[in-house]
Structure 1
């Protein structure tokens, strides 16, 4: 008499039959107690007639290809203790009849396609110890009755669409619970501290939900091994952080702690070091933690991964990390760490992921990184690292990504790079590297991205790059490369982006392969290139190549041109003495008005000569409707002056409209903090195509955006506190003039740091009035909405998104964001601002007395350094004076940030106007100066 049937994997031929065809007649299974057919590939539906096997206490059909719904008749198997249908393709709902399975201890339906709500009646299964229904499509509110099942030991509902809150008395009725998996759902509300009442808990995974409120405090969980609270909206303070880490003091078995992607703030306490020495994974990433990384980490000898990225940690990286010789991942990018990178890598031989980019780390890259033989990912981008790249890095045969972009690295790219067979991404843009591109680069057979832009590489482009068949991105722009474009580049079948712009390349542009698709390559700024393709000539504006007989045809015109030039030269000599007599008189006039000698009717030819045929080295920047070049113009007196030329890209549909709007707005306005437009040019270029440009004052110190985010102390380009305050007052003065002293008032509509230029005295000038609007003072006059207004993301007032009219309040909002950006060092488009969090909300979430903690730390450090230096020789003032100076600086920063918050409230009518904001900023400056 058969009582148990366990079927292991069966032959391929049998697997092709539905489940019901592989079983003997049910009359032969009447006395069956256990049915285990797991791990096969049976398909078809679960037979309803299983319900006739009344003695069954085990049905295991997991890891098959079963489909259809779960028969409700299975609810009649009152002796059933274990039911496992996981990893199939079942659909439909959990039958409510399962509430009748009073003997059921294990119910596993994970990894199917089940849907609908979870029956509340499951809470009646008083013997159920394991409920596993994860990775389905369940929705609706999770039954609270299940939280009252005292028999539960294991509960997993991860990766569903379940809602609801956890009961405040959670844990009171779950004395035996060991594993709680609620991750990747839509649970919300506060996580109750009462979870600690389930004192046997070993695993708590509540990640990827919508929990809010303070981070919970779990005391008495002595058996806890995993605590995962990541990707919620939990909050904290320095005090709460202390309590949180202190409550885990007795969780001596803790191996994994993840509290990433929340809204946690404040400093990490020293009690951080009291965590379990068994800790293997620690992740506090993507929060708002400040202060230094706590000491005491050498205790965690078992640590495998350490993630501190995307916070506001300052100070130096603790050298005691060297003791963590089991560490495989060290991820601390996107903070404000400074100082030299400690030489810690000789002992971290198991490291495969090292990400330290986007900090303020300085010094050299240590050779000891070469001892991390398992390293797969190395990210040191956007720091202040100097020197050359150690050869040892190019000996890391397993390295797949090397990102050193945005530093001050020098020297060549060594030929040894060709030995890196596994390398997929090489980023070394924005450094000071030089020399030739090594031909050995062809050895990087796996390379997908190669970006070397904005360096000093010279020589020709190696033809061997054409052998990199996997290459998708190649960016060699803004270097000093010469010679022809290799034909072999056309063979790059996987290429999606080829950028060779702004070099000194010459000769014929290839016409085969990728060069047949104009959207895939950029060759601008190489004025010696030519082409035989009409399409390339028309779209890229390059000259046609001259070949064959055509050379002879141009010989006679060339000779005639030389003779004509000689005659013209003699005429110029004849007239020179008359010009010389008047030069002194006109020079006096020019000195009184630096632009008087400049012709007001500037032509395309004048601009072309002034910008050296729009050469790459004269390109200042690019905007929404065109490019800005530096141009050297000649006076009629022979004197020269440097000006800025904004050349409109008339291929864009609204460029002409922007040009007209800017001319109209600036026609009658005059203010020291507005960029002065000298003249305009509206004519035809040498191809007979329309050409429009504005000629303006040249600002030698660039734009505010660069100064905020890329300035540094070493180059002297870091803006000090007083400089930032003066610039803020300058911008506020310009807007106050536009809003209150112009008739009609003018709304700029695109205020951002990139549109604030700095002259030789660091005086700020607002520029780019391409989106400016005249504001109607008569309510009956029609004014267009802002639905078509394209400002800059992050700076656009929220009401503009709903079609509100352009207004001074909209400019005030943009100014407030600019102010917050200047004094926090954070762009409003930073990756941290997502899911409803914004720059305004981030700053306003800080306590009134702690608002300075979100300030750009470089401002405070600058004052700390300057006051220490000034007091080093003044023993009478000493530390007390230093403290007063620092306190006053922090007070100034807090005042300015409060102005920014007052300008960025959601309701336009509740915002300050520019006159009030300007007055407050001037008062703050007066307070600083008087102090």
Structure 2
């Protein structure tokens, strides 16, 4: 009887516990729902009226109906991860990946002791990885990749002995890989790519015999690979060590890793001879590019012979090494599945071997930047799937074979810098997918076939540096996508067709060094034109005023022609360093200084014997009107002198925008909802910036930014006056536009001063460069960074060289660079600005004693030096280095006198390559092929591996050097902002136009 009672009590307690846990699970899920944002309303089924085991994404156990799995992948959910998830104590699988959760990973997740799978990838999670995750002893799959996690990899993760899959790639993790990682004896996949990890690969890692997938690309790892690599990892299928600092020879033992399918050792410092791969029957992808591997003709034969057993090989990339000698004919014995073959940028000689007709799957064929000679094999014309053919920068000769009729998939033809003769074939016109045609710098004759002008998607047409003749067809107007048109240095004649003005997307037009005659056509509709070179021709007539309308035009060369008349005075002609008009004997300018700088005549008004009375009368009347106007204006200035000092900032802008020239305190208070905290978008040294909704005269509402000065600070009024004085006459597309101002009393009767400015939807540059300082943000691409640098340089160039008097910003840093909807940069916050008037003292021209922010201040300022434009140049240089190195000048690593520019300079190697040493690699990988965390599939971007990567590295290397030239210790050694702007624009042209 007693036994029965005890059993009954046990059952009642057990049933009660199940009911309690059942209720706790539902409560935890409802709490989770209440704390997240669900834009797709996917969790609408989660209600108290239904059973939680029937809710979307929820799976329960058969016994006890406990929540066993929660899968909410890819639902655009956002908010912080609620700690209530830790109450789902029966949870085996949790997948919240591909959402927008932010904040830190709750350490309470460690309470889920039954958890097998934890996927939190592709969110905006920040902070460090909780070491408590090491308590999840049953965990076999952990994916935290594609977030903003920082700090080191916790050594406690190495306690997860059941772990088979560990992915923490694409974060900002630093430090070394824990040496205890060898404890993960069951680990089969390890993904650590695209972080900031340093040190060497732990030797214990090479003792995990179950490892099939190892990817540590794009880190700062160094050292040599162990000689026993192939014996230690016999089951490895994917080995990705690219874009690190590994050195030494590639171990011969790698041939024992016979299961290898994917091997990427590119972008390192490996040296020695090419390894051999005799046993790789499953090899699909092999890239050894951008190292220092060497070879000879004999070694080339052995290398390619060793790959003949790799019948599944699809990608073979060997670009940018020290390979020499000739390529063997045994190349034709490679896998017929090959679709990418690249040996570019080496020292290979001899003829390009035959046998290419065997590779009908080939899409990318790249031989550029070698010393190949002889003729191009005509059998390449049988490769109907070919997308890119790159053979430029060799010494190939003879006529280009007529191979293009069958290559209808071609996107890029690159044959420049060879010695080809003959004509350009009409069959190129059958390559309807063609985007890029580079055949310049050869010895080609004849004309440009009209069929080429019918290619619908041609973006870049370069035939410069040949012996082409004839006229340019009016059919050029059909090329609606054309951005670069280079026919320079040929023998073209006739007039420049006016139809070229219909190529609305054109950015670069190079027609110099030909025999063109006639007039310069109207080109005012080419709104995107940046470079125009018509030099060294026989052009006559006047310079069209339509060129003044081209706002993006930054390089104009009309030198060595027969132009005449007066030079226009607007647009690009306002920046004389960008204009070349030499050797046009009949050109003149009414401005003596402009005439002198351009090397042209000074215009003289000829004397007339008749009809001189009317001009004299008109001159007298005009002078009288001018005198009356000046007297009236002088009276207005004297009468309103005090008020104009504070309220005339961009009053024209205020009228245009439909706002009053000077606003009241109450209008600003209403627009900012009584200066509500949710409208606060930033704080500075002298005040705060709010977002405000203003009602225009038209009745519409629009958003502006309002900078409210903190009048409790003694220097706030001086800052306000300095900003007004600096901006009242400044007009530039890359300056933050001040719409109007307010100088009034607040509700307490105290002084109130504010500026109403253009609102920048994308915030400041600092939050984009260092996104893990906030809970949101994303990395900038290489092109975005370069464009921003050019925007800022353009603004500073204008302030230093085109304002009278020149303006020194004195506080150039990322927080003062604002980004609009189109990611165009605008320089703001002129509270410390100085006017370099000859008669102005420091006290008159700015806020004495404040010359910038720590880390960006020029060294001479710290020694009491005077404010100068060179100080701004130094600050700009630090900003550029910060943008492209990815470190603040105040970073902990720059202590003990190691400043940012010294760091970059010290990392320079013997080959003058900075990018692989110090560059912030995130923006390189952001533009490469899409990252896949659980696939061995080969996804290759046709420019990311060799052409784009090399150009990107050269680009960043050049930009960092510009930054270093701006941060020279002595002011006299620094570039001017004008020279800096020109250099950066040239870098962009080289990177993104060729």
With normalisation by structure 1, the TM-score equals 0.58
Identify the range of structure 1 (3-12 vs 140-149) with the bigger mean alpha-carbon deviation: 3-12
* Structure 1 position 137 matched with structure 2 position 199: no
* Structure 1 position 380 matched with structure 2 position 448: no
Instruction: Please name the residue that 2:590 is paired with.
Output: 532
Instruction: Please name the residue that 1:311 is paired with.
Output: 370
- Whether contact under 8 Å (1:461, 1:482) holds in the other structure is yes
For the residue of structure 1 that corresponds to 2:166, the secondary structure is strand
Provide structure 2 residue ranges, at least 5 long, that are not aligned to the other structure.
Answer: 1-64, 613-907, 913-994
RMSD: 1.7
* Structure 1 position 416 matched with structure 2 position 475: yes
For the residue of structure 1 that corresponds to 2:420, the secondary structure is strand
* Structure 1 position 274 matched with structure 2 position 333: yes
State the Cα distance separating 1:344 from its structure 2 match. 0.2
Query: What is the distance in 2 between the residues matched to 1:307 and 1:550?
Result: 69
Q: Which has the larger radius of gyration?
A: 1
- Whether contact under 8 Å (1:330, 1:355) holds in the other structure is yes
- When residues 253 and 510 of structure 1 are mapped into structure 2, their CA distance, relative to the original with a 3 A threshold, is same
- Whether contact under 8 Å (2:151, 2:173) holds in the other structure is yes
Query: What is the distance in 2 between the residues matched to 1:209 and 1:550?
Result: 76
Query: What is the distance in 1 between the residues matched to 2:290 and 2:181?
Result: 29
- When residues 2 and 441 of structure 1 are mapped into structure 2, their CA distance, relative to the original with a 3 A threshold, is same
* Structure 1 position 68 matched with structure 2 position 106: no
State the Cα distance separating 1:147 from its structure 2 match. 1.6
Instruction: Please name the residue that 1:34 is paired with.
Output: 93
Q: What are the Cα deviations for residues 470-493 of structure 1, in whole angstroms up to 9, with x where unaligned?
A: 000000000010111111111110
What does 1:885-924 align with in structure 2 at a 5 Å threshold? none
* Structure 1 position 477 matched with structure 2 position 535: yes
For the residue of structure 1 that corresponds to 2:350, the secondary structure is strand
For the residue of structure 2 that corresponds to 1:322, the secondary structure is helix
- Whether contact under 8 Å (1:56, 1:80) holds in the other structure is yes
State the Cα distance separating 1:545 from its structure 2 match. 2.1
State the Cα distance separating 1:299 from its structure 2 match. 0.3
Query: What is the distance in 2 between the residues matched to 1:115 and 1:4?
Result: 34
User: Paired residue for 1:109, among 168, 172, 175?
Assistant: 168
- Whether contact under 8 Å (1:511, 1:533) holds in the other structure is no
* Structure 1 position 189 matched with structure 2 position 248: yes
Instruction: Please name the residue that 1:545 is paired with.
Output: 603
What does 1:406-805 align with in structure 2 at a 5 Å threshold? 406-463=465-522, 465-547=523-605, 549=607
Q: What are the Cα deviations for residues 666-685 of structure 1, in whole angstroms up to 9, with x where unaligned?
A: xxxxxxxxxxxxxxxxxxxx
- Whether contact under 8 Å (1:193, 1:218) holds in the other structure is no
For the residue of structure 2 that corresponds to 1:535, the secondary structure is helix
State the Cα distance separating 1:535 from its structure 2 match. 2.8
Query: What is the distance in 2 between the residues matched to 1:837 and 1:141?
Result: 24
- Whether contact under 8 Å (2:581, 2:600) holds in the other structure is no
For the residue of structure 2 that corresponds to 1:466, the secondary structure is coil
For the residue of structure 2 that corresponds to 1:5, the secondary structure is strand
Instruction: Please name the residue that 2:82 is paired with.
Output: 20
* Structure 1 position 364 matched with structure 2 position 426: no
Instruction: Please name the residue that 2:899 is paired with.
Output: none
* Structure 1 position 223 matched with structure 2 position 223: no
State the Cα distance separating 1:159 from its structure 2 match. 0.3
Q: What are the Cα deviations for residues 429-460 of structure 1, in whole angstroms up to 9, with x where unaligned?
A: 11011000000001111000000111000001
* Structure 1 position 213 matched with structure 2 position 277: no
Tell me: higher relative CO, structure 1 or 2? Use CA pairs within 8 A at least 6 residues apart. 2
Query: What is the distance in 2 between the residues matched to 1:325 and 1:70?
Result: 50
Query: What is the distance in 1 between the residues matched to 2:534 and 2:541?
Result: 14
Query: What is the distance in 2 between the residues matched to 1:480 and 1:442?
Result: 20
Query: What is the distance in 2 between the residues matched to 1:493 and 1:140?
Result: 49
- Whether contact under 8 Å (1:217, 1:243) holds in the other structure is yes
Query: What is the distance in 2 between the residues matched to 1:93 and 1:835?
Result: 28
Instruction: Please name the residue that 2:905 is paired with.
Output: none
State the Cα distance separating 1:7 from its structure 2 match. 3.2
Query: What is the distance in 2 between the residues matched to 1:503 and 1:552?
Result: 34
Instruction: Please name the residue that 2:311 is paired with.
Output: 252
Identify the range of structure 1 (526-535 vs 96-105) with the bigger mean alpha-carbon deviation: 526-535
- Whether contact under 8 Å (1:56, 1:79) holds in the other structure is yes
For the residue of structure 1 that corresponds to 2:206, the secondary structure is helix
Instruction: Please name the residue that 1:95 is paired with.
Output: 154
- Whether contact under 8 Å (1:43, 1:67) holds in the other structure is yes
Query: What is the distance in 2 between the residues matched to 1:329 and 1:509?
Result: 45
State the Cα distance separating 1:836 from its structure 2 match. 4.5
Query: What is the distance in 2 between the residues matched to 1:552 and 1:537?
Result: 29
Query: What is the distance in 1 between the residues matched to 2:191 and 2:566?
Result: 66
For the residue of structure 1 that corresponds to 2:282, the secondary structure is coil
Query: What is the distance in 1 between the residues matched to 2:280 and 2:486?
Result: 46
State the Cα distance separating 1:53 from its structure 2 match. 1.2
For the residue of structure 2 that corresponds to 1:50, the secondary structure is helix
**Deviant stretches of 4+, over 4 Å:** 9-12, 548-554, 834-838
For the residue of structure 1 that corresponds to 2:344, the secondary structure is coil
State the Cα distance separating 1:542 from its structure 2 match. 2.3
With normalisation by structure 2, the TM-score equals 0.55
- When residues 125 and 550 of structure 1 are mapped into structure 2, their CA distance, relative to the original with a 3 A threshold, is farther
State the Cα distance separating 1:296 from its structure 2 match. 0.5
- When residues 835 and 320 of structure 1 are mapped into structure 2, their CA distance, relative to the original with a 3 A threshold, is farther
- When residues 510 and 551 of structure 1 are mapped into structure 2, their CA distance, relative to the original with a 3 A threshold, is farther
* Structure 1 position 5 matched with structure 2 position 69: yes
Instruction: Please name the residue that 1:261 is paired with.
Output: 320
Q: What are the Cα deviations for residues 341-371 of structure 1, in whole angstroms up to 9, with x where unaligned?
A: 0000000000000000000000000000000
Instruction: Please name the residue that 2:464 is paired with.
Output: 405
State the Cα distance separating 1:39 from its structure 2 match. 1.2
For the residue of structure 2 that corresponds to 1:337, the secondary structure is strand
- When residues 287 and 10 of structure 1 are mapped into structure 2, their CA distance, relative to the original with a 3 A threshold, is closer
- When residues 551 and 299 of structure 1 are mapped into structure 2, their CA distance, relative to the original with a 3 A threshold, is farther
Query: What is the distance in 2 between the residues matched to 1:111 and 1:550?
Result: 77
- Whether contact under 8 Å (1:3, 1:34) holds in the other structure is no
State the Cα distance separating 1:512 from its structure 2 match. 2.0
State the Cα distance separating 1:137 from its structure 2 match. 0.4
* Structure 1 position 290 matched with structure 2 position 355: no
For the residue of structure 1 that corresponds to 2:273, the secondary structure is coil
User: Paired residue for 1:201, among 260, 266, 272?
Assistant: 260
- When residues 81 and 551 of structure 1 are mapped into structure 2, their CA distance, relative to the original with a 3 A threshold, is farther
Provide structure 1 residue ranges, at least 5 long, that are not aligned to the other structure.
Answer: 555-833, 839-931
- Whether contact under 8 Å (1:370, 1:396) holds in the other structure is yes
